Amino acid sequence: MKDSALYIHIPFCDHKCIYCDFYSIITTDNINPFLISIKKEINFYSEIYSNDRYFTSIYFGGGTPSLMEAGYIEEIINHLKAKFSVSEDAEITLETNPGTVNEQKLKSFLKAGINRISIGIQSFNDDELKFLTRIHNSETAIKTILNAQDAGFENISADLIFNLPGQTKDKWLDNLKTITRLPVKHISAYSLILERGTILNKMVLDGKIKMQNDDYDAELYELTMDLMESNGFYQYEVSNFAKPGFECIHNKAYWEYRDYLSFGPSAHSFVDGKRWWNFSSLKRYISEIENNNCAAACSEIINQVQMFDEYVMLALRSRGLDITDLKSRFGEKWIKSKQKYFSQLQQNNLIALRENKIQLTKNGYSLCDEILSNIL
């Protein structure tokens, strides 16, 4: 039985932020047809993949899944459990935005089966929130975290974004200090990235906004790692920090190169060396499900070279490269050919060898992309 993960993409949103490139729509049309389609898609894939695997996580992403009523989310959870072998103690995450939930709604989500809340804070600075076009302010962000705790959630995660245009080190440190004082067990800290097709990208191309350089980005990242460590959050992936025992089980499935099934428009799946992704249009998604029971727009079989590169990249970004596992999957030739380079990295305190694993150090995380480029 293979340990796998389940993902549901809820596309509905109340507002499109300037930096977001995830598929989302600002409308409540087709909410009920979408639920019917999700169930049909789940039925279709359960007949193919339900016998040889069990699922240890369910993740509701978006969009803004917390816009849905708890009963809507519960219906999907119950359908997944009816069609797949879902672990009794499975991690079930709901992405949540401040301003879309109160304590009572959070209690309803907990009762519906959600046991982990991921809150899109992004910043506690009101000027930065306005720039990012978030619908909430700092007070609402803090209140949402406290409401989640009062509602009964122990496993609370929060997202923050750094290296915003004009962001000073003091502003970013204030964000980090604020989040570490709150009852949060997991923090995802991402550098602001320009994605094609976003409003922010056009603003930069038009010269209306200037992004800060890579060196400054690296300085903010180093500040992040230092402050997280000093507050009891250990780094288990390039952008993710957790209190012991609160690593995100679902995201670890991606980083450990395990299989995952995903449902909804634009959702990507990876099973048995095959990857496919759904149409990025809700109407097209619903139409394809009605006619074909699935909505795959494209697929690819991962060849041995791709599989190796992805395996190494994901391992080094997270838990470290298990030498024994790598040899059993791909043989010894590559690791032997890179011994000299890895020795140099170790001498420069960029990697450490622990329990037969090659792991990036704090300095190594800062140069992760460069190191991967040199070895792959």
What is the arithmetic mean of pLDDT over 156-162? 97
What was the pLDDT predicted at 51?
82
Structure tokens at 181: 């004082």
| Residue 312: alpha-carbon gap to chain centroid | 19
- Percentage of the chain exceeding pLDDT 70: 100
* Per-residue pLDDT, 25: 86
- What confidence tier does 355 reach under pLDDT thresholds 50, 70, 90? confident
Burial class (CB in 10 A: 0-12, 13-18, 19+), 146: middle
- Three-class secondary structure of residue 211 per DSSP: coil
Rounded Cα distance, 11 and 159, in Å: 19
Dihedral angle over CA of 311, 316, 319, 324, nearest 10: 60
- What is the distance between the alpha carbons of residues 259 and 273, in angstroms, rounded to a whole number? 8
Confidence of residue 223 (pLDDT cuts 50, 70, 90): very high
Please report where in the chains the tokens 């389609």 appear, as a residue: 37
Whose CA is closest to 131, among 169, 161, 95, 100?
161
pLDDT tens for each residue of 53-102? 999 999 999 999 999 999 999 999 999 999 999 999 999 999 999 999 99
Query: In the prediction, which pLDDT does 361 show?
Result: 93
Q: pTM of this prediction? A: 0.95
Residue 233 has pLDDT above 90, yes or no: yes
Mean pLDDT in residue range 12-18:
85
For the stretch 196-212, pLDDT in tens is: 888 877 887 888 888 88
Q: How many CB atoms lie within 10 A of CB 68?
A: 25
Q: In angstroms, rounded to a whole number, what is the distance separating the alpha carbons of residues 58 and 39?
A: 15
Q: So what's the pLDDT on residue 138?
A: 96
Q: Tell me, what's the pLDDT at 52? A: 85
Q: Which two tokens stand for residue 108?
A: 């309803």
> Cα(332)–Cα(27) distance, rounded to whole angstroms?
53
Tell me the chain's radius of gyration from C-alpha atoms: 21
Determine the Cα–Cα distance for residues 76 and 78; give it in Å rounded to an integer: 5
- Could you give all domains of the chain from N- to C-terminal order, each with its CATH number? 2-255 (3.20.20.70), 321-375 (no CATH)
Query: What confidence tens digit (pLDDT) does each residue in 274-322 have?
Result: 999 999 999 999 999 999 999 999 999 999 999 999 999 999 999 899 9
**Which residue's structure tokens are 């980005």?**
217
CA distances from 102 to 31, 224, 238, 278 (A): 21, 29, 32, 32
* Among 285, 256, 257, CA closest to 271: 257
pLDDT of residue 316: 94
Computed over every residue of the chain, the mean pLDDT equals 94
For range 178-182, the mean pLDDT:
98
Q: How many CB atoms lie within 10 A of CB 298?
A: 9
Bond into 63 cis (ω within 30): yes
| Across 131-135, average pLDDT | 89
| pLDDT over 80 at 338, yes or no | yes
Q: Would you state the pLDDT for residue 208?
A: 84
Cα gap 54→104, rounded to integer Å: 32
Cα–Cα distance, 51 to 252 (Å, whole number): 22
**Quick check: 168 and 220 in contact, CB under 8 A?**
no
d(CA 60, CA 50): 20
Across residues 358-369, what is the average pLDDT? Answer: 92
pLDDT > 90: what percent of the chain?
84
| Whole-Å CA distances, 322 to 62, 127, 309 | 33, 44, 14
- For the chain, what's the residue count? 376
C-beta of residue 107 within 8 angstroms of C-beta of residue 151? yes
State how far the Cα of 46 lies from the Cα of 51, in Å rounded to an integer. Answer: 8
